[in-house]
């Protein structure tokens, strides 16, 4: 590592040099934001024809402009069933926010139990396993419901399954686990076949344990196709399909928050969910669903569309990664290059992440808060930083990356000086 054989004077010189460099950026009064995984305007533009279709919104004698079809329109249920390799009856298509479906799924279990006759979670101790680093909004749902979170580390093939198996099989209060199985948020890890099989083979102590399979990036390849094993196939072989809730949305396919999202689970779970959801709503926005279906009517059309999306964001990822490779060479940061998804997840030296984010902020670059990728916002090593390069224009990514590299160096030098 570059600074490990610097003496104090050399470290102080380096610190001074970096502060000078940062000063130049500060004087520019920049206001750059790489904090959230939002698509860029150019990506959103791709889907504009979706909104310009002339449709009559009638299909097989049903008027989609009127009430009805609480499970969503059959066309889009079929399409999602085909995309994910599940049954039509296992797919409920709702409005734009899959987060809303996840929240409601937990809320239903809290109020009514996870299956008919089960004890509501609100009347018992409930813990969730959180794969770390992970998605802050998953953790936030646990927090608001008072669900205790237990960290399990991610590996290059998915969560540490030895630990997951141990916890799930030994503790009846463990009722759930949050997973982003393909291009995980933030690391971009794709769960290996073995990991998926081990998930399907879990033998939970709690009969109301559920896997929250947030397949947010199921078609979000940056390069060639990447296959994730179909967990429902694996579960069906073992009779464990009631254990899985899957979630997908088009928020990062068409429009963010204005697309369609889906809830996928076993027929038994779905019957139960429906028995409560029917009190909650008469049905989703079928006009928007039909627009989506007509614009992207086949799995092939979705994949072609996603190639256009990838063409826009890939260069942004590459610019960021190329710049970061310099500090990586110097041993100041670690990361794996993601092959899809929305993030680059970097690990700076221990105890440096907060400082790096702070230094970037002072130079006008907003990053996701350090710690956000951990439950309660607490990264035990203060090392992980999630970078979201999709929204800013590529020139800004370059500037952000340059500033970020300076800040990583400076925080590292400070760390060495304080030791």
Task: Name the residues that contact its own copies, by CB under 8 A.
Answer: 36, 38-39, 41, 44, 47, 51-52, 54-55, 57, 63-68, 95-97, 99-100, 103-104, 107, 110-112, 122, 137, 140-141, 143-145, 251, 255-258, 276, 279-288
Q: At what angle do helices 286-295 and 74-84 cross, to 10 degrees?
A: 50
Strands (E) located in 47-182: 58-59, 62-63, 91-94, 127-132, 148-155, 158-159, 174-179
Pick between residue 197 and residue 220 the one whose CB is nearest to its own copies.
Answer: 220
Say which residues have a Cβ less than 8 Å from residue 219's Cβ, sequence separation at least 6.
Answer: 83, 253, 302, 303, 306
Say which residues have a Cβ less than 8 Å from residue 278's Cβ, sequence separation at least 6.
Answer: 70
Q: How many CB atoms lie within 10 A of CB 178?
A: 25
3-state secondary structure of 117: coil
CB of 113 to its own copies, least distance (A): 12
Query: In angstroms, rounded to a whole number, what is the distance separating the alpha carbons of residues 379 and 351?
Result: 9
CB of 45 to its own copies, least distance (A): 9
CB of 386 to its own copies, least distance (A): 16
Pick between residue 305 and residue 355 the one whose CB is nearest to its own copies.
Answer: 305
CB of 342 to its own copies, least distance (A): 12
Distances (CA, A) of 41 to 97, 309, 364, 376, 383: 19, 11, 22, 32, 31
3-state secondary structure of 393: coil
CB of 404 to its own copies, least distance (A): 23
CB of 43 to its own copies, least distance (A): 9
Pick between residue 40 and residue 169 the one whose CB is nearest to its own copies.
Answer: 40
Specify burial of residue 314 (Cβ count, 10 A radius: 0-12, 13-18, 19+). Answer: middle
Pick between residue 258 and residue 387 the one whose CB is nearest to its own copies.
Answer: 258
CB of 168 to its own copies, least distance (A): 25
Pick between residue 216 and residue 348 the one whose CB is nearest to its own copies.
Answer: 216
Q: Report the half-sphere exposure of 320 (CA within 13 A, side-chain side).
A: 28
Pick between residue 283 and residue 389 the one whose CB is nearest to its own copies.
Answer: 283
Pick between residue 65 and residue 238 the one whose CB is nearest to its own copies.
Answer: 65
CB of 203 to its own copies, least distance (A): 30
Pick between residue 19 and residue 312 the one whose CB is nearest to its own copies.
Answer: 312
Pick between residue 2 and residue 140 the one whose CB is nearest to its own copies.
Answer: 140
Q: Two tokens at 56?
A: 């009559």
- Residue 88 gets which letter from DSSP? G
CB of 414 to its own copies, least distance (A): 34
Would you mind telling me the total number of residues written for the chain in this entry? 419
Query: In angstroms, rounded to a whole number, what is the distance separating the alpha carbons of residues 272 and 293?
Result: 27
């Amino acid at each position: 590592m570059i600074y490990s054989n610097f003496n104090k004077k050399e470290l102080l010189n380096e610190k001074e040099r970096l502060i000078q460099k940062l000063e130049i950026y500060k004087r520019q009064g920049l206001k750059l934001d790489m904090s959230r995984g939002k698509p860029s305007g150019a990506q959103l533009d791709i889907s504009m024809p979706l909104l310009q279709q002339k449709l009559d919104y009638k299909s097989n004698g049903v008027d989609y402009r009127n009430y009805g079809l609480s499970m969503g329109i059959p066309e889009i249920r079929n399409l999602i069933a085909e995309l994910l390799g599940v049954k039509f009856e296992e797919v409920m298509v709702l409005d734009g926010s899959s987060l809303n479906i996840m929240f409601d799924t937990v809320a239903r279990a809290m109020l009514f139990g996870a299956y008919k006759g089960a004890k509501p979670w609100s009347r018992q101790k409930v813990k969730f396993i959180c794969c770390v680093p992970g998605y802050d909004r998953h953790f936030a749902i646990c927090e608001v419901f008072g669900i205790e979170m237990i960290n399990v580390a991610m590996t290059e093939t998915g969560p540490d399954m030895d630990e997951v198996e141990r916890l799930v099989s030994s503790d009846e209060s463990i009722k759930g686990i949050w997973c982003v199985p393909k291009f995980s948020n933030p690391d971009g890890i794709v769960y290996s076949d073995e990991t998926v099989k081990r998930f399907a083979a879990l033998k939970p102590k709690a009969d109301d344990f559920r896997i929250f399979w947030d397949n947010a990036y199921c078609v979000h390849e940056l390069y060639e196709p990447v296959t994730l094993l179909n967990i429902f196939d694996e579960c069906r072989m073992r009779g464990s399909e009631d254990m899985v809730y899957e979630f997908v949305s088009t928020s990062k396919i068409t429009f963010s928050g204005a697309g369609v999202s889906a809830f996928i689970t076993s027929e038994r779970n779905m019957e139960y969910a429906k028995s409560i959801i029917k009190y909650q709503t008469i049905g989703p926005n079928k006009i928007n669903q039909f627009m989506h279906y007509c614009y992207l009517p086949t799995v092939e059309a979705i994949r072609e569309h996603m190639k256009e999306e990838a063409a826009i964001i890939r260069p942004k990822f590459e610019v960021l990664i190329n710049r970061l490779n310099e500090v990586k060479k110097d041993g100041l940061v670690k990361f794996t290059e993601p092959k899809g998804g929305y993030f680059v997840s970097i690990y700076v030296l221990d105890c440096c992440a907060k400082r790096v984010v702070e230094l970037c902020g002072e130079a006008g670059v907003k990053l996701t808060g350090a710690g956000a990728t951990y439950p309660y916002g607490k990264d035990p090593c203060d090392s992980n930083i999630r970078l979201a390069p999709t929204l800013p224009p590529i020139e800004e990514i370059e500037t952000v990356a340059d500033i970020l590299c300076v800040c990583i160096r400076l925080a590292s030098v400070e760390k060495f000086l304080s030791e």
